[in-house]
Structure 1
Amino acid sequence: MDWLIPAGYFAEYLLVAVVAFAVTALVVATHYEGVHALARRFASRAPRRDHLAMLKIIFALLALHIVEIWYYGLAYWGLVMIPGTGFVHGEFGMDRLFDAVYLSAITYSTVGFGDLAPVGAIRLVAGLEALTGLLMITWSASFTYLEMSRLWADERRR
């Protein structure tokens, strides 16, 4: 299986794959529950009673994304502590938890400055995070658009 995984690293690569998929599942579930809670909370809200509804929704979604970024950051932080799972290349590497969360934020948002780059098996986490971040951000944008249309359309009719 050397064509797929470097010889002698099957367990490490399997661990990274399990962690990557588990964190991705956690992020999707968290986002689903967060958006669902927002939908329930603001569905019956009358625009005249709460003009700040859209700001509350935006800040709640932003907080949700920050939590999700931290999930991936903690996964990076934990995985680089395990020999054979990979490391992060950069001027300072990933010496601090902040560096892991920063790597997660630029990956989740698909900005990818390139000052930190995962090397080895943990690249799978980065790939899944970028795809998941793109989906979660567009999901939030769609939800925001629908809520804005509903709240602002109601306001115009009054």
Structure 2
Amino acid sequence: MLVLFQIIFGSTVLLICALLHILIIARLVRHLRNNDHFSEDRTTRHQILTVCALFLVLLLSHTLQIYISAFSLWAVGALPGYEAPIYYSLVTYTTVGYGDVVLDPGYRIAGAMVSVTGILMFGMTTAFVVGLFSRILDEKGP
């Protein structure tokens, strides 16, 4: 695969994943603004369940992105079957990178873009969670 095509391919997958993640986070923000789950009148149990639900939704978003990356790599013929693309996408997206499944040289840049996607999306998730906890702690007061 040509280098330019790998960059375009990887960037397209990154943009699709970013749009998905942004839409999910925007939906969560809208839901949190419309329903005050962390006000004083809410029980601690409700607040804990709300945070758990948020984490599950964010986990689902990352999981979908891993499957999008895996499907994309499979679709261009970078990896055969269904297990290898999912496994490769998971360890690359999370930047673990064991190296036991590797791409041919013609797909390496496209594979590296999966790692860039993971770094950016985990950064976005971290920013969202830190902002959420800052807001919760500010509302609770000292």
The answer for the alignment partner of 1:69 in structure 2 is 66
Question: How far off its partner does 1:111 sit?
Answer: 0.2
Q: Percent identity?
A: 22
Ranges of 4+ aligned residues in structure 1 off by more than 6 Å: none
CA distance in 2, matches of 1:23, 1:95: 18
Q: Report which of the two has the higher share of helix.
A: 2
Unaligned runs of 5+ in 1: 1-11, 81-86, 88-93
1:125 equivalent to 2:110? Answer yes
Q: Report which of the two has the higher share of strand.
A: 1
Question: How far off its partner does 1:152 sit?
Answer: 3.8
Matched residue type, 1:146: G
1:143 equivalent to 2:118? Answer no
Residue aligned with 1:111, SS: coil
Q: 8 Å contact 2:14–2:114 — kept in the other structure? A: yes
Q: Which moved more, 1:40-49 or 1:19-28?
A: 40-49
Q: Considering Cα pairs closer than 8 Å and 6+ residues apart, tell me whether 1 or 2 has the greater RCO.
A: 2
Report the TM-score, using the length of structure 2 for normalisation.
0.84
Within 5 Å, which residues of 2 pair with 1:92-111? 94-111=79-96
Report the TM-score, using the length of structure 1 for normalisation.
0.76
Within 5 Å, which residues of 2 pair with 1:7-156? 12-13=1-2, 14-44=4-34, 45-47=36-38, 48=42, 50-51=46-47, 52-80=49-77, 87=78, 94-154=79-139, 156=140
CA deviation string 1:97-120 (max 9, x = no partner): 121011001000000011101112
Q: Which has the larger radius of gyration?
A: 1
